[in-house]
Structure 1
Amino acid sequence: MNPTTQHVLERLNYEKVLLTSGVIPRRKRVTLDEIFNAALEEPRIYEVLPAILMYRPQVIHRQDRDRKKYPELAKAMKNFFNPEKLPQSFYGVDMQDCLKTALRYRQFLSENASKRKSRTLTLRLGIEDLERLKRLTQRLHTKGVSETIRLLAREKEGASS
């Protein structure tokens, strides 16, 4: 696999828009030029590109400058939600497939955004209590003290119901 393709797939995998086995998700900068070069080797990138441009444009570095080089891209993005003016294909991929992918990605982002909401809570604990929580975290095989507290709270709430 070409290093540029690997680089782009790592970022798209990180964004959870194009999951590829054998590629480690990494948060790296990618440009439109790199994306189009990688799409020559991996055509599925063309299908997910509109989703990225519509819902996560910050993923693409220097996008405003590079977009001028790709008039078909600008035309498709301008008419993306207008069915009358929507082109039939986008770099050889059926535009309806791109639209479905974009809508699915938007749904994924909105579902995950609601899961990530949390508040910070500062606790003052004695050394013994903190050590007890750390031991309990190891025994329960949870990721950290916060997760242990959440688990204990859920168990306590379930037991009192």
Structure 2
Amino acid sequence: MSDQMLTTALELNSREGDFNISYIPNAPRNCFNPSFPIIHIKLKQEHNAWLQIVRTDSSDKKLQKFIDTNLELHPFYTLEQDFYDAPLWYYTLFSKPLTYWTAHTYAVKIDNQNKTIKIIGGIKWGFRLAYFPIKPQMILPSSLDTNDWQVDVEVFKQALVGYKID
């Protein structure tokens, strides 16, 4: 996904991070996630990984709160400098598996030698599904704060056994 397609950009500050965010509220029909949001996040500060926790109101308990991850990198979403995401959930006009999907996306710095993870900052974003409007409605990106991290870190601690999280 090129930045040329990403139509809206904004800057947000969170903790120590200066985030540059580009997004499309509703992806075009020719994308693999038509009508759902696409996001690209860059960060000026030094970091080497991203963590993301997702919350939904799905009837499936396993999908109500989960670490969004690549199985090979668990629990990390990516070890790249930039963060990209394009969620997709299948639904019909009269059958929606959830009404909201909210992500807390954190830039972190991992020190594998000393087994520490430092939070740089985070962004909240996502989408809502309703009967009207028919298309998913993006939850616009906003900054996360220390209180958000204190709640989310308890979930990450279970997946990061042996690491000290700052």
TM-score, normalized by length of structure 1?
0.23
TM-score, normalized by length of structure 2?
0.23
Instruction: Tell me which protein shows more strand as a share of its residues.
Output: 2
Quick check: which has more Rg, 1 or 2? 1
